[in-house]
Structure 1
Amino acid sequence: MSNPDSVSFQLAGLGLRTYPGEYPVDGITPYRHQWALHDALTAREPGTFVNDAPTGGGKTLSWLAPVISEGLSTVAVYPTNALIEDQNRNISDLLSDVDGGDNCQLLAVTSETLQNEYAEQFPEASSNGKRLSLLLKQAFSSRRTVILLTNPDIFVLLRREIYRERIGEIKRFEVAVVDEFHRATRKERNTMLFLLDEMYDTNESICRLNYLVFLSATPEVRLERQFEEAMIAPYYRVDDFGWRNTPHPAISGETPSTISFSPGNLPADYRAVLPPVDLLIEPAPTFGTATEMLDNDEVVLERLATGRTVIMLDGVHEIDRVYDRLCRADLTRVERIDGFHRDGVREKIDTFDTLVSNSAVEVGVDFDTDQIVFSGHDAASFFQRLGRLRTRSDRSAAFAYAPPYLFHDLEPLADSLSGRWVDRSEFEKRVKSAYVDSSTPASFDWRYSAVEAYDHVEERVEDAPPDDQLAVRKAGWHRIESHFFNGEQGGLSESDLQRIHEVANSELLKTLKTYRGESVQTLVYNQRSQTVQTYNLPYLLRHSDISFHTRDDFLTHIPSELIDQVSRLEPYSSGYCIYRGEYDGQSSGIDGDQVSGRLFTYKATGELYSLLSDHPRDIRTPEVCTGLEVEVTPSVNGVDILKDDLSTDQILCYPLEGHVSQIQNQYSLGSFGFIYSLLYSEGEAAVAFGHDALYLHCRVQDKIQEKSSTFDEVLDF
């Protein structure tokens, strides 16, 4: 190989065969997976349907066309608000081409739309819950097909009736679609599947949900088991025949539905969804891709000159460094999209020559590009980002930065495949098997998800008529067994689970009820873009030119039209921050080394200190604590104000003795297991927050259980 610091592969393109027929969309000749889901929904065949067609393969149209043509009201759940906005725009454009599209009402619901446009539409409503209730009542009274686009947080709030009033219209949807399901965490998957399964199993006179559609990557073994064994609805993969034993006439025939192709060899009745790609892989440590790129900036700039390019990194600070370097180079139209630069997204996408971004464009933002440069420090991100080269048959290029251990593992494979066009599925299996598994522990299911479900069932029992309560409890326990035990923890009984539930405090249960876990964020006014948002506090303290203010002083610095957004966001944040740009200073790190940004750490005080000092590791559990403090060097203007705000806030914490890297290695957390350094008078320590705290606790307890002789010892939650 010419470059000893890189390996190269020629990845074949992927083409999907089209199948002519009477499909309810003008100008579309469908793929097999689109016909299969259309067949099931038009035949009114209930079930759980998983569509794992590749990115760019038309998964949205696969459900949209039949639900509109059949008049099936649908709730579609997307992982990010950006994806909701993108899909709202795309679906709106498609409605005029779909049979029945003129009789469809499309609603995009996020906390932002509830606070803004729907607040104007329903001025009499005093809360988001009341606005949503009025919106759905109005939509269903119109006798049109209702399609609700929302995020999983709002869906869970709706189903669990956490809004201050019941919104019964959630039970009127006949189809539920969950997009990008493979990107959800273990806790998030468990929550969503349990609630959807419960809705599907409810008598149709009460809840109409009959069709569960998951748009996802190919399910791994555990998720496949959940679909097939835990869910009551029959499970079908729509890349096969769907619900039939033999193909529907529209998709019959001997010709394969997918093919791999090399440049210039795509048959006429196939469309390209992934192009042939020349892939070059180089090693880089996690969050070190920017350094590797800038150390070889001449090579990088030469690559960028060869075509329209998207660069996808992990840390916002990496984006800062690369974007700054490219702006100083002789390049045209360099753009960036990230958490602090979300304005003008569509214009940037349409006009960039080089786009620097992160997960903000990993899903949900459609763009066309000749090549991509990306970091892939876990398997999911690697293939999600590689798959953003799509819907083109032209030969394309990709430059990946992967963990050094993966790079070295792939070297002999690259030598053996040199000069060959490699099948995508073959390559994906090989790469996925080489990544270190840092997935969340299986014990999370019974330690926490089962407790979350048990609490949900008990609330259902309390709301049920007395004559129905026993049946509701029995059905709930059976569902908990199916989803979270399946014989794997034979020593755990309903009474064990009840005991765990009784010990879990109300604040912990409140954390479990929500879809996503909490983190330490602050409310930020970005002076550059004149926007208000919440953002990760550690990043701001390390890498940003910021100051903290009292609430009253903060409001004097922002435009009056943003004050309503402040009221909406401040319940989810700690402190009030003004952001002016990036901080480009350095600090003395370990052994006197100069590190980029400020030094930052949390400090163990109050309840957090007691949790660490008074509770041995073997019996310590995550707890909601107050008294969190921060230390930052050099200091930041107003940091004492921030400390006052943090001191009274509550957050779920789990501290451990030891250095961050030691804990990451001991419990196989990987570099994305977010734990933070913690100043502790008795020695080195670290802390995890929110759901990360729960995952870390599971790993610690799993280690203890390995040495335990009886299962009961582990139940002392």
Structure 2
Amino acid sequence: MPNSSQRNVTMCDSSQLTVQLKGLALREYPGDSYPVDGVTPHRHQWALHDALTTDVPGVFVNDAPTGAGKTLSWLAPTVSEGLDTVAVYPTNALIEDQQENIGSQLDDIDGGDDVHLLAVSSDTLQDEYATEYPAAESNGELLSYLLRDAFQRPETVILLTNPDIFVLLRREIYHKRIDGINLFEVAVVDEFHRATRKEQNTLLFLLDEMQDADTEICKLSHLVFLSATPDEELAKRFDESVSAPYYPLTDFGWRETAHPAMAEDDQSVIAFAPGQLPTAYRPVLPPLELRLQPAATFQTATRLAEEREETIDRLLQGRTVLMLDGIHEVDRIYRLLQDSELGIVERIDGFHRGDIGDKLDRFDTLVSNAAVEVGVDFDTDQVLFSAHSAATFFQRLGRLRTREETSSAYAYLPPYVHKQLQPEIDEFNNEWISRDQFKGLVEKHYVDNSTPKSFDWRYSAVEAYHHVEQRVDNAPSDESGLIRKEGWKRIERHFCQPHGTVFSKQDAKRCHDAVQTKILDTLQMYRGNSLQLSVYDPDQQVVQNYNLTYLLRHGDIRLLERDDFLTHLPDHLEDDLSRVERYSIGYCIYFGTYDSDGTEGDEEYTGRDLCFKPTGELYSLLSEGQRQTREPKVCTGLEVETSPDIDGLDQLKIALSETEILCYPIEGHVSEVSKQYSIGEFGFVYPLLHPEGDTASIAFSHDALYLYCQVQDQQDTDGLDIEVSEL
């Protein structure tokens, strides 16, 4: 039960709802055949060990809770069986974290002494690996040498990398013919559910293609997806789109006879209230006193500032991690908590990524954003977080783990979700309820702002068609027919049949030929291109690229020409600059968050006003035709205005106006466009000055394609006659 201080917090805010959630525990199943010293496995660990050691090809999804040992579930069998494995992680920070985590576990696993562990990102390629292969003239050539030498060694190869590099390898964009990508027997994908629709489509299509190939061409037999928040739509896609059999790890479906872990009468997963944990079970998620309050996306910091005394009172209850939506929120709350009685206050975000291990060891209060949402391990008594989506809600809530005692959590929800939950939560009357029951309750109230499903056949099918044709062009003539035939069947399975779409090969070719070549090039990459600046942070002594629109709205920055920028940059950071500046359009010095009126008080923080202006090609795109026929395009002619103005903005305008960017302009104010097409706060759309003086908006990169699909879908719903060839 809450202590007296917590009760006072509840009483002072009538909008707060309190839910008592049961903890979650997993049964341990002893067995001498598990190849890890000192570990009694859970059922999901036995399941994946059984599948991989009995050489069952298929798609395996491990949706065990956070803290349940999902990494060990694939690591133990691949190491003990000597299965060469590529593990794909969404961020470079997670690659670094997993390299340390896996390295620490190898000594306890049978065969761990015979593992060659590689962590590959653009940073490691250009730093440590570049010194090993000085003759390499590109990252792709360097990686080809790295994998060639790795597979010539007698050890098991485990490659940790990100999906961007994996896609470049498979599509031979990085470097022609890197054969090492076809030598892996197992592919592990972490946090797949958190990728965008385009990213999921790209990765799943390529993995299916590799697994379906003859083993003499590609050895990949096992696809393993790790997720703490299972998704029914993804499960359906695994089952219906991928050619290999789909096996959730809950039922040992590949077995004809029961595995010992499956034969036990006891449940493998149980929910427990405080003091009710049975023996033989290990807690992975603790019982929770969960308090729910309303706050709009990007406004949780404002709520916390308005209630500063209550906020500090909450944080004094124990070691706390705060997870907010934006860096400007992190900065505001970090400054708000300075000189308080909270002890050591640390921050981790995109501009404060150094010394993460030390920060995690010493903090009393940690202020962060999505940087600690996945992967990073920390021990904490309570969490306080914002949740703009249901997936984010349960991802962040799951960061409290491995305790039997009751913990505390504070969640800030969109006001409409909070309002709809209130009468249903009141009915529980302070009873302890299971997380599954609560999850179903929460998910039904969040508005689904996911990307439109029509993206699959409007763009992903076209992307895949282009990929298949590229393979045909590079294949021997006697193989081209089979590649094209199998490729089209795969396109149908992944992007047409799931939606019941009548979309022929001729339709795909017409759409492919109609799509701008530069858009096809963008689609071949895993992530879309973004507008970035090269940033020097003198406080953190780092140089990196960061999102242009964020910096213009929220950054206390000074824009500079390159030569002037170099005079401020320490010599030891010049190599770092040379690695990142090729992907940026300008340079700036970053001094922290822009301090507009109200950031220290109780007023809502909005940052600078930001508006784009069309010139040249973009002007023509906006002024030509009607909304019904306009399509996304890669073009130049973008300018930007901010209020207040930023020192050096004029020179950025010149660079920006000459930069090619995939964009989609549309008539209507940002708020109107966002509401009409259910884009949500994280579907970024920006104000655009219409040449005729009307209000307009613009989206960039993959957001431009998503918005276009939303517009077309609504036109189709409204009964407008649009031919497939026009899409």
Q: Under TM normalisation by the shorter chain, which class is it?
A: over 0.9
Alpha-carbon separation, structure 2, partners of 1:309 and 1:370: 6
Return the offset for 1:615.
Answer: 3.2
Return the offset for 1:596.
Answer: 4.5
Alpha-carbon separation, structure 2, partners of 1:599 and 1:239: 51
Q: 2:241: which partner in 1?
A: 230
User: Superposition pairs for residues 440-519 of structure 1, below 5 Å?
Assistant: 440-486=451-497, 488-519=499-530
Conserved? CA contact 1:587–1:599, under 8 Å = no
SS at match of 1:327: coil
Return the offset for 1:251.
Answer: 3.7
Return the offset for 1:587.
Answer: 10
Question: Is residue 2:303 matched to residue 1:298?
Answer: no
Question: Is residue 2:251 matched to residue 1:240?
Answer: yes
Q: 1:653: which partner in 2?
A: 663
Q: 2:30 aligns with which of 20, 24, 27?
A: 20
Q: 2:179: which partner in 1?
A: 168
Q: Summarize deviations over 1:492-545 as a string: whole Å, max 9, x none.
A: 211011000001111000110011112221110111111011111122122222
Conserved? CA contact 2:612–2:640, under 8 Å = yes
Q: 1:371: which partner in 2?
A: 382
Alpha-carbon separation, structure 1, partners of 2:30 and 2:696: 63
Conserved? CA contact 2:66–2:401, under 8 Å = yes
Q: Summarize deviations over 1:338-369 as a string: whole Å, max 9, x none.
A: 11111111110110000000000000110010
Question: Is residue 2:18 matched to residue 1:8?
Answer: yes
* Residues matched between the structures, number: 712
Instruction: Give unpaired runs (5+ residues) of structure 1.
Output: none
Q: 2:89 aligns with which of 78, 87, 91?
A: 78
TM-score normalised by the chain length of structure 1: 0.97
Question: Is residue 2:419 matched to residue 1:408?
Answer: yes
Q: Quick one: which amino acid aligns to residue 269 of structure 1?
A: A
Question: Is residue 2:338 matched to residue 1:327?
Answer: yes
Cα distance change of structure 1 residues 200 and 508 upon mapping to structure 2, 3 Å threshold: same
Conserved? CA contact 2:86–2:187, under 8 Å = yes
SS at match of 2:572: helix
Question: Is residue 2:265 matched to residue 1:254?
Answer: yes
Q: Quick one: which amino acid aligns to residue 628 of structure 1?
A: L
Alpha-carbon separation, structure 1, partners of 2:593 and 2:423: 42
Cα distance change of structure 1 residues 64 and 405 upon mapping to structure 2, 3 Å threshold: same
Conserved? CA contact 2:389–2:446, under 8 Å = yes
* Amino-acid identity (%): 59
Return the offset for 1:142.
Answer: 0.6
Moved more, 100-109 or 490-499: 490-499
Q: 1:675: which partner in 2?
A: 685
Question: Is residue 2:639 matched to residue 1:629?
Answer: yes
Cα distance change of structure 1 residues 571 and 647 upon mapping to structure 2, 3 Å threshold: same
Question: Is residue 2:189 matched to residue 1:155?
Answer: no
Return the offset for 1:488.
Answer: 3.4
Instruction: Give unpaired runs (5+ residues) of structure 2.
Output: 1-9
Return the offset for 1:457.
Answer: 0.3
Q: Summarize deviations over 1:104-135 as a string: whole Å, max 9, x none.
A: 00000000000111111111111101111111
Conserved? CA contact 1:283–1:404, under 8 Å = yes
Q: 2:450: which partner in 1?
A: 439
User: Superposition pairs for residues 565-714 of structure 1, below 5 Å?
Assistant: 565-586=576-597, 596-682=606-692, 683-708=694-719, 713-714=723-724
Alpha-carbon separation, structure 2, partners of 1:550 and 1:427: 53
SS at match of 1:668: coil
Q: 1:90: which partner in 2?
A: 101
Conserved? CA contact 2:18–2:290, under 8 Å = yes
Alpha-carbon separation, structure 1, partners of 2:300 and 2:604: 18
Alpha-carbon separation, structure 1, partners of 2:25 and 2:699: 44
Q: Quick one: which amino acid aligns to residue 716 of structure 1?
A: E
Q: Quick one: which amino acid aligns to residue 428 of structure 2?
A: L
User: Superposition pairs for residues 48-447 of structure 1, below 5 Å?
Assistant: 48-447=59-458
TM-score normalised by the chain length of structure 2: 0.96
Q: Summarize deviations over 1:32-66 as a string: whole Å, max 9, x none.
A: 00000000000001000000001111100000000
Return the offset for 1:141.
Answer: 0.5
SS at match of 2:628: coil
Return the offset for 1:595.
Answer: 5.7
RMSD of aligned Cα (Å): 1.6
Return the offset for 1:413.
Answer: 1.7
SS at match of 2:707: helix
Q: Quick one: which amino acid aligns to residue 189 of structure 1?
A: Q
Return the offset for 1:616.
Answer: 1.5
Cα distance change of structure 1 residues 317 and 45 upon mapping to structure 2, 3 Å threshold: same
Q: Summarize deviations over 1:584-608 as a string: whole Å, max 9, x none.
A: 13499xxxx9965322211112211
Q: Quick one: which amino acid aligns to residue 318 of structure 2?
A: G
SS at match of 2:499: coil
Q: Summarize deviations over 1:216-265 as a string: whole Å, max 9, x none.
A: 14543321221001101110000222422453124421000011111121
Q: Quick one: which amino acid aligns to residue 16 of structure 2?
A: S
Q: Quick one: which amino acid aligns to residue 37 of structure 1?
A: L
Conserved? CA contact 1:655–1:685, under 8 Å = yes
Conserved? CA contact 1:587–1:597, under 8 Å = no
Conserved? CA contact 1:107–1:147, under 8 Å = yes
